[in-house]
Chains A and B, each alone.
Chain A
Amino acid sequence: DQQVKQNSPSLSVQEGRISILNCDYTNSMFDYFLWYKKYPAEGPTFLISISSIKDKNEDGRFTVFLNKSAKHLSLHIVPSQPGDSAVYFCAASESSGDKLTFGTGTRLAVRP
Chain B
Amino acid sequence: KAGVTQTPRYLIKTRGQQVTLSCSPISGHRSVSWYQQTPGQGLQFLFEYFSETQRNKGNFPGRFSGRQFSNSRSEMNVSTLELGDSALYLCASSPGTAFYGYTFGSGTRLTVV
Contact = CB atoms under 8 A, between A and B. Distances in A.
A43 B97 contact: no
Contacts of B42: 6, 89, 102-105
Contacts of A100: 33, 43, 45, 98, 102
Interface residues of B, number: 27
B21 to A, nearest CB: 13
B63 interface: no
Contacts of B58: 99
Q: Which applies to chain A's interface (DSSP): helix, strand, loop or mixed?
A: loop
A46 B103 contact: yes
A100 B45 CA distance: 8
**Contact residues on A (Cβ < 8 Å of other chain), bracket:** 20 to 34
B90 A43 contact: yes
Interface in A11-68: 32, 34, 36, 41-46, 49
A43 B98 contact: no
Nearest to B99: A97
Contact of B98 (A6, A44, A99, A104): A99
Interface of A: 6, 32, 34, 36, 41-46, 49, 89, 91, 93, 96-105
Interface of B: 4, 33, 35, 40-45, 48, 55-56, 58, 90, 92, 96-107
